[in-house]
Amino acid sequence: MCCFRDISDKAPCKEKYSSSNSGDADQVAQKIRATGDRLAQTLGEIRRRAPEASVYIVGYPAILPAKGGECGNDLPLAPGDMTFLRQKTQQLNAMLTERAKAAKATYVDTFAPSTGHDACSPSATRWVEPLRPSSPAAAVHPNERGERGMATAVLHALKD
């Protein structure tokens, strides 16, 4: 797989998906934009069908640590790709925020409260499991602690 740490401190995923060699300047950003367009259409349809509905868009949690580096064998990404993938998660959340605002929906931030509880955190504190989960959760997805933390963010948004 392109992102795994066989290549010192380089960023093979970034090179593959956002270099001129790939044919497009940034394939991931293009997918985020396309997803944003589909989300805008969906939110418009929700408003049309249920104009009084309260709509909440839940963002993605912090999957990777704030400071690049390595995650060990649990999530063996190249250090440069750690930074690249974290930035892409933040771009995705920024798009979700913009689309929610444009549609008069509420964006629920789960990134900020999950920072420090990423897949590279100790198993006792992490919200997101690494490639080899140590709790009953899918790889690189929220575990029970993460789902609880995200639910708390949603409940806070509902109260506001």
C-alpha closest to that of 13 among 81, 67, 63 = 81
**Residue 144 pLDDT grade (very low, low, confident, very high; cuts 50, 70, 90):** very high
| 64 φ/ψ angles, rounded to the nearest 5 degrees | -120, 155
* Residues 4-43: tens digit of each pLDDT: 544 456 788 888 888 655 555 789 999 999 999 999 999 9
Domains of the chain are 12-159 (3.40.50.1110)
**DSSP per residue over 73-109, as a string?**
GGS-B-HHHHHHHHHHHHHHHHHHHHHHHHTTPEEE-
Distance CA 79, CA 83 (A): 7
Neighbouring C-beta atoms of residue 1, cutoff 10 Å: 8
CB 64 within 8 A of CB 80: no
* Residues 51-93: tens digit of each pLDDT: 999 999 999 999 999 876 567 778 888 888 888 899 999 999 9
